[in-house]
Amino acid sequence: MREFERLLELTDLVGQEIGCSEWILVDQARIQRFADASDDQQWIHTDPQRAAAGPFGTCIAHGFLTLSLIPRFFETAFMVRESRLGLNYGLNRVRFPAPVPVDSRLRGRFKLLKCEPVDGGVQLCIEVSVEREGAAKPVCVAESLTRQFR
């Protein structure tokens, strides 16, 4: 985990990678829990027998499951000691360039695109590239907007 003392330190790092998270396993149990929570029970995610005969040869994770892991990736990628509160402010562009087969390990790489002052803190625009272990192509690329407050 990369650590920073002050929020304003980040202004000098625009355009640079500011952290890389730990790996997270996306197994069938996690996929099923997400399917249950989101009411998205499409067979490509939840039926291993049918998915084995499908286009990917196995179950794959929901794109939105992959996206929902971004806050967890943030927790292990970097921290700012001065920040007492961080809030998800939204997303800009989101893409899912490759599937996430069951039992994949994923991690997030964080590149700071913008750091702008807001009342009491900063708003960060961070490109999050979600990597699958052993794959050349990312499985999700998103611009995450967060607000960090002193």
Q: For 102-135, what is each residue's pLDDT tens digit?
A: 999 999 999 999 999 999 999 999 999 999 999 9
Q: For 7-27, what is each residue's pLDDT tens digit?
A: 989 999 999 999 999 999 999
- CA dihedral in degrees (65, 69, 70, 75; nearest 10)? 170
Average pLDDT over residues 59-85: 96
Say how far apart CA 114 and CA 35 lie, in whole Å. Answer: 34
Q: Is the pLDDT at 89 greater than 90, yes or no?
A: yes
Average pLDDT over residues 84-110: 97
Residue 8: count other Cβ atoms within 10 Å of its Cβ: 15
Say how far apart CA 4 and CA 115 lie, in whole Å. Answer: 14
pLDDT for residue 126: 98
Q: Is the Cβ–Cβ distance between 25 and 31 less than 8 Å?
A: no
Q: For 40-62, what is each residue's pLDDT tens digit?
A: 999 999 999 999 999 999 999 99
pLDDT for residue 68: 97
Say how far apart CA 101 and CA 60 lie, in whole Å. Answer: 4
pLDDT for residue 5: 94
The radius of gyration of the chain from alpha carbons, rounded to an integer in Å, stands at 17
Query: What single letter denotes the amino acid at residue 150?
Result: R
Residue 25: count other Cβ atoms within 10 Å of its Cβ: 12
pLDDT for residue 8: 87
pTM: 0.93
Say how far apart CA 139 and CA 37 lie, in whole Å. Answer: 22
Instruction: Give per-residue burial for 74-113: e unless 16+ CB within 10 Å, then b.
Output: bebbbbbeebeebeeeeeeebebebbbbbebebbbbbbbe
